[in-house]
Amino acid sequence: APGVYQLASLLVELDASDEASRILCADALYQMGCVEEAHKLLLLALSKNPQRSPILARLALLQLKKGFMYDGNQLLKKVIRIGDTSCLLPIMDIFKDEDRKLMQTHCRFRALTILK
């Protein structure tokens, strides 16, 4: 993760508008345990493009991880409204095991609540 972060940071320096490099940077920060820094970077990327499902889904996980269930739910709802949920499965590979379980459990619980 540190090497990926350094490479992604260099790519962001070369092209500040490169969203993919910003996301890669945020993923590396997350993997290194720098959740707040990853959150700030994702918020910056979201400010430039508020309808990007990959960014919203990552932010949803970070909100759930912090215990902000309402905020996490709102972000997940936005991803669903946008209609681009294809980003969720690849993102699950990036999440740490405990966070993957948190997201899966949360989504399953919400789905059951909605069905009831």
- Tens digit of each residue's pLDDT (9 = 90 or more) over 96-105: 899 888 888 8
Q: Which two tokens stand for residue 27?
A: 């993923």
Place of tokens 């499965």: 89
- Determine the length of the chain: 116
Q: What is the pLDDT of residue 62?
A: 92
Q: Where are the beta strands (DSSP E) in the chain?
A: none
Q: What is the pLDDT of residue 84?
A: 83
C-alpha–C-alpha distance, residues 101 and 26, integer Å: 20
Q: What is the pLDDT of residue 14?
A: 87
The residue ranges of every structural domain in the chain are 1-115
Q: What is the mean pLDDT of residues 32-38?
A: 92
Is the pTM above the cut of 0.75? Answer: yes
Place of tokens 């910003």: 22
Torsion angles phi and psi, residue 32, rounded to 5? -85, 0
pLDDT, tens only, 40-91: 999 988 888 888 889 999 999 999 888 898 998 899 889 888 888 888 888 8
Give the right CATH number for 1-115 from 1.10.760.10, 1.25.40.10, 3.40.50.10170, 3.30.460.10: 1.25.40.10
